[in-house]
Amino acid sequence: MRIADMDWQMVEDWTRSDDRCVLPLGSTEQHASLSLCVDVILSERVSVEAAHDLGVPVFPAMPFGIAPYFQAFPGSITIRVSTYVDLVRDVLDSLKRSGFRRILIVNGHGGNQPAAALAQEWMMDNADCRVRFHDWWRAPKTWAAVQETDPQGSHANWMENFPWTRLATTQADAVKDMVDTNQLKTLPPFEARQLLDDGSFGGRAQRSDNEMLAIWEVAVAETRSLIETW
C-alpha cells in the first residue's frame, strides 16, 4: 500500500503486527528522449506492484540521487555523496522510530550505490533492524530476462523504455552505437555530454511492449519475493 494512501494511525496499526516497509530510491536525470524521472517512476512502480497483494507500506520514491556525470544536461539533479548518505540515514532513523524493523530499499539508479554501504553501516548501529538493498533492474532474474531480450540493455535505451516512462518525443526506431562507458567514467560533465550526444548509452531506443511487459513481470515477482522471504 502506498504511504500516500495511509494516515499516521494506519501506519501505527500496521506496525503493531508487521514491521516491513519498502523505500524506493530514484534519480532525476537525463534519459535521452525518455522522462527525466525514469528512475523515480520505475523504482516506485515496481515497489508498489510488488507489495500490493501483501499490504506492505511503500514510501514515495526519493526523487534525487547521485548523478554528477549528467550535470551538463538541463533538468538533471545531483546530490553530493556525503549529503545523500546523511539523507538516507535520516530516513532510516525515521522509519525505525515509526516502528519499521525490516526495510527493503528498492533502488532505481546505479549512482545511488553509496546507500547500500550506508545500509550495512546503519545495521551495525541498529542491530535490531534489517535492511535489504535491491537494484531492481539488475537483480539476477530480471537481469537475465534483460540479457535474453537484448544484451545491449543500458542507460536511456530500450531497457528503460516502458509505456509509463515514454514521452511523445521518444524516437522508437532510433539505433545508436554503444558508447565506451569506461571512457565516460573519466570525463567531467560537459565532455560527458559531448560523448553521449542525446544522452543514451547506445543500442536500440525501443523494443516491443510485449517484451517490456514480460521483463516487468519478472522484476515485480523478484521484488515481491524479497518482501515475502525475510
DSSP E strand boundaries for the chain: 20-25, 102-107, 130-135, 175-176, 203-204
| Dist. CA 171–CA 223, nearest whole Å | 30
Per residue in 141-166, pLDDT (tens digit) is 999 999 999 999 999 999 999 999 99
| Dist. CA 164–CA 38, nearest whole Å | 9
Task: Say what the alpha-carbon torsion angle 192, 196, 201, 203 is, to the nearest 10 degrees.
Answer: -160
Which structural domains are found in the chain, ordered by start?
Answer: 3-228 (3.40.50.10310)
Of the pLDDT bands very low, low, confident and very high (cuts 50, 70, 90), residue 185 is very high
Per residue in 20-57, pLDDT (tens digit) is 999 999 999 999 999 999 999 999 999 999 999 999 99
Looking at the predicted structure, is the pLDDT value of residue 103 above 90?
yes
Question: Which grid coordinates are listed for 102?
Answer: 525490516
pLDDT at 230: 79
Residues of the chain by 3-state class (helix, strand, coil), percent to 5: 50, 10, 40
C-alpha distances in Å from residue 64, one per residue of 1, 60, 76, 101: 22, 12, 9, 24
| Dist. CA 78–CA 99, nearest whole Å | 30
Looking at the predicted structure, is the pLDDT value of residue 172 above 90?
no
Give the percent of the chain with pLDDT over 70.
Answer: 100
Mean confidence (pLDDT) of the chain = 97
How many other β-carbons are positioned within 10 Å of the β-carbon of residue 121?
11
pLDDT at 106: 98
Q: Is 105 helix (H, G, I), strand (E, B) or coil?
A: strand
* pLDDT (mean) for 114-122: 98
**For residues 132 and 105, is the Cβ–Cβ distance under 8 A?**
yes
